[in-house]
Chains A and B, each alone.
Chain A
Amino acid sequence: MSARASLTTEHTIDRAGRGVSRVYGLRSQAPLVLRPTHPKSAEPFTRHATNVARVSLTSGAAGPLGGDHFELEVRVGRGSTLVLNEVSATLLLPGARGGLSQMRITITVEDDATLVWLPEPVIAAEHCNHVQDIDVALGTSSRLLMRDELQLGRHREPPGNLTQRIRVRRVGRPLFQQQLTVGPATPKWRSSAVGGGHKSLGTVLVVDPDWGGDPPSARILAHGAAMFPLAGPAVLISALADDTLTTRRLLDRGVAHLGDPWASEAAAAPSA
């Protein structure tokens, strides 16, 4: 099955004369469904922002099966702010006739625009065979917070093959690029140098032009988690753990250290 969904936001002035972010090109194709939504829970960045558009993605009850080709295209127009979240985790399953499933996500964040992208974990079930490509293009003054979490196999299950490529470029220049390959086709994934047999891993990438050449400094968050200033106005928070809840907690802890405007209200509060 093939499905494409896309979405565009723009900054406009509403009837009361306030600046707002408006969603104007929302196209869904089952099972990829995009819907305007309301704040889900404490979210980063938006604490002080009033002009936020919120959209939520569903990718069907059982997400990409072998043979599926999904594409999502997001454009956050100049000056607008979009929070894109997801209704539930994505479960990658093998298809009836095997074959590769693919998800291609192309994101453009224009100047003075902000994207807060908070998908739920991607779960690589046994025998899945999936490739995910995420391509993000940023302008000089674009902001981004992008979370990404993988769970390798369901409960007590080894993962199938999953390749994930993330590529973030800023005004055409490379900012962050990495490929993760896990599963039986890449046994060295479990090496102590790579994934160490952890069942869950995740990253949060935050790009904030206000940091200039001096992003928040490196910080150790746990044995298997750290925050890295990239070679640009950006940080990567990276965590590996045995379950997705722990990974999420470590990532949130990292975001909390970023302070205003990135920390969510909940995360910024002193931890209990």
Chain B
Amino acid sequence: MTPNAALLLLADGRLPAGGYAHSGGFEPTARLQGLNDAAALEDFLEGRVTTSGFVAAAFAAAACAAAHAGNIGRLGQLDPELDARMPSPAVRAVSRALGRQLLRVITRIHPHPVLATLDPHAHQPTVFGAAAASFDLSPQDAALAVLHETITGPASAAVKVLSLDPYEVHSALARLTGLLDELAVRAAAHALDDPDQLPADASPLLDIAAEHHRSWDVRLFAS
């Protein structure tokens, strides 16, 4: 039986891992590019989920597979590879902060030996993958959870940033469910890749926006 309930727990935005403080680059992008409606949000989400979201999902799948196999060495190789795929220091810092917060939560709520082997500052996808494995979830589940978070985080931030109609925002999320499932399958296909062959799809505007955001004095979200 697939542990579906555990997947829901892990993907739930109410998991107290600090995700609510982040807009996944939506706040700066909305300001820099003048985004102002739900269609613009949907376009942003699709771009994010097919690039950095897909990379994160593939790494989570790889981490999950490595954790299942007890391959600690391989788990340790993923973070430097992720660093190389995140040119923006702001993006790297956020990914590691979110990873640290997630690790803290999972360690508390569901202790498992594999979690203890992780770097306390591991990137979020690495922790997601290991956490998924600790619940006996598959690499594809780990990928799906990460993809889900990739779009739901910015979407709920957008409701505040642009005062969007939450129904319209969730219509967009509903339309993207098929894409998420498809990306999860593709990401999971990389679960056993050599670390240097893992996806590296770039989102150059997100990287640039992240540095703009860092430089602002006034902002609603931490990223």
Contact = CB atoms under 8 A, between A and B. Distances in A.
Q: Do chains A and B touch in the complex (CB under 8 A)?
A: yes
Interface of A: 165, 167-169, 173-181, 186, 188-196, 201, 218-220, 223-226, 228-231, 236, 238, 240
Contacts of A220: 208, 211-212, 215
B179 to A, nearest CB: 9
B80 interface: yes
User: Binding site of A, secondary structure by majority: helix, strand, loop or mixed?
Assistant: strand
A192 B33 contact: yes
A140 to B, nearest CB: 16
Question: Most chain-A Cβ atoms within 10 A of its Cβ — which of B25, B89, B205?
Answer: B205
Given A192-B40, A195-B204, A218-B214, A177 B84 contact: yes
Contacts of A168: 84
B47 A178 contact: no
Contact of A179 (B25, B81, B199, B215): B199
A221 B200 CA distance: 24
A223 B199 CA distance: 27
B28 to A, nearest CB: 11
B206 A177 contact: no
Give the contact-size bracket for chain B: 35 or more
B29 A177 contact: no
Contact of A224 (B52, B200, B208, B214): B208
13 contacts: A169-B196, A173-B80, A174-B81, A174-B83, A174-B195, A179-B200, A192-B47, A193-B25, A220-B208, A226-B207, A226-B211, A226-B212, A230-B87
Interface of B: 25, 29, 32-33, 35, 40, 43-48, 50-52, 80-81, 83-90, 92, 195-196, 199-208, 211-212, 214-215
A228 B84 CA distance: 12
User: Binding site of B, secondary structure by majority: helix, strand, loop or mixed?
Assistant: helix
Nearest to B26: A193
B207 A228 contact: yes
Contact of B204 (A176, A186, A238): A238
B122 to A, nearest CB: 14
Given A193-B51, A231-B92, A238-B208, A178 B44 contact: no
Contacts of B215: 220
B103 to A, nearest CB: 19
Given A179-B199, A192-B33, A194-B206, A228 B87 contact: yes
Contacts of A230: 83-84, 87
B203 A193 contact: yes
A211 to B, nearest CB: 14
A203 to B, nearest CB: 8
Contacts of A223: 32, 212
A175 B29 contact: no
A168 B29 CA distance: 28
A177 B211 contact: no
A14 to B, nearest CB: 39
B172 to A, nearest CB: 13
Given A165-B200, A191-B43, A226 B208 contact: yes
B55 to A, nearest CB: 9
A149 to B, nearest CB: 13
B200 A178 contact: yes
A173 B195 CA distance: 11
Contacts of B90: 218
Given A192-B40, A196-B33, A218-B211, A228 B200 contact: no
B208 A231 contact: no
Given A174-B84, A178-B202, A218-B211, 11 more contacts: A167-B196, A177-B196, A186-B50, A188-B47, A192-B40, A194-B203, A195-B205, A226-B88, A226-B212, A228-B88, A238-B208
A194 B47 contact: yes
Nearest to B199: A179
B44 A225 contact: no
B202 A191 contact: no
B84 A193 contact: no
Contacts of A191: 43-44, 46-48, 50
Nearest to A225: B208
A194 B207 contact: no
Nearest to A168: B84
Contacts of A174: 80-81, 83-84, 195-196
A179 B84 CA distance: 12
A242 B62 CA distance: 37
A219 B25 CA distance: 17
Nearest to A229: B89
Question: Most chain-A Cβ atoms within 10 A of its Cβ — which of B33, B45, B80, B84?
Answer: B84
